Amino acid sequence: MTSSQSSDPQVESTPLLNAQPKNRDARDNDTPRTPLPKVQIGILSLVHVVTPVSSQSIYPYINQLVRELDITHGDESRVGYYVGLIESIFFATQACTTFGWSRLSDYVGRKPVMLIGLSGLCISMLCFGLSRTFVTLVLSRCICGLLNGSSGVMKSMLGELTDASNIAQGFAILPILWCVGATLGPFVGGVLARPADRWPHLFSQQFWQDYPYFLPCAAVSVFVIFVALLIALFLKETLPRRKAKEPLLIQSSAPEAPEDSSSSFSVAEAPLPMRALLVPPILIPIANNGLLGVIEAALAAMQPLFYSTPTSSSGLGFSPATIGTILACFGIFDGLAQVLFFAPVVNRIGPKRTFELAATTCVPIFVLFPVMSWYVARGGVDKVVWALLVLQLSLQIIKDMAYGCVMMHVTSSAPSKRSLGSVNGLSQTISAISRAIGPAVATSIFSASKQYNLLGGNLVYVFMVAMTFCLMYLGSRLPDQLPDQKR
Q: Which CATH number fits domain 35-239+277-475: 1.20.1250.20, 1.10.10.10, 2.40.160.40, 3.40.50.720?
A: 1.20.1250.20
Tens of each residue's pLDDT in the chain, 487 residues: 444 333 343 333 334 333 333 444 444 444 577 787 888 888 888 888 888 888 888 888 888 888 888 776 666 667 777 887 887 787 778 778 888 888 888 788 889 999 998 999 999 999 999 988 888 999 998 888 888 777 778 878 887 887 766 766 777 677 677 778 877 888 899 889 999 988 989 898 999 999 999 999 999 999 999 999 999 999 988 876 533 443 433 333 334 444 444 343 344 456 667 777 788 888 999 999 999 988 988 898 888 888 888 887 778 888 877 887 888 788 788 878 887 888 788 888 888 999 999 999 999 999 999 999 888 888 788 899 999 999 999 999 999 889 888 988 888 887 776 677 778 788 878 887 887 787 778 878 877 887 787 887 788 889 999 999 999 999 999 998 876 655 4
* C-alpha dihedral (370, 374, 376, 382), degrees to nearest 10: -100
CA distance 181 to 178: 5
| Cβ contact 169:36 at 8 Å | yes
Q: Which amino acid is at 11?
A: V
Residue 285: CB atoms within 10 Å: 28
| Phi and psi angles of residue 142, each rounded to the nearest 5 degrees, phi first | -65, -40
**Torsional sign, CA 364, 366, 370, 372:** positive
**DSSP label of 186:** H
Angle at CA 161, nearest 5°, toward 158 and 163? 105
Q: Which amino acid is at 269?
A: E
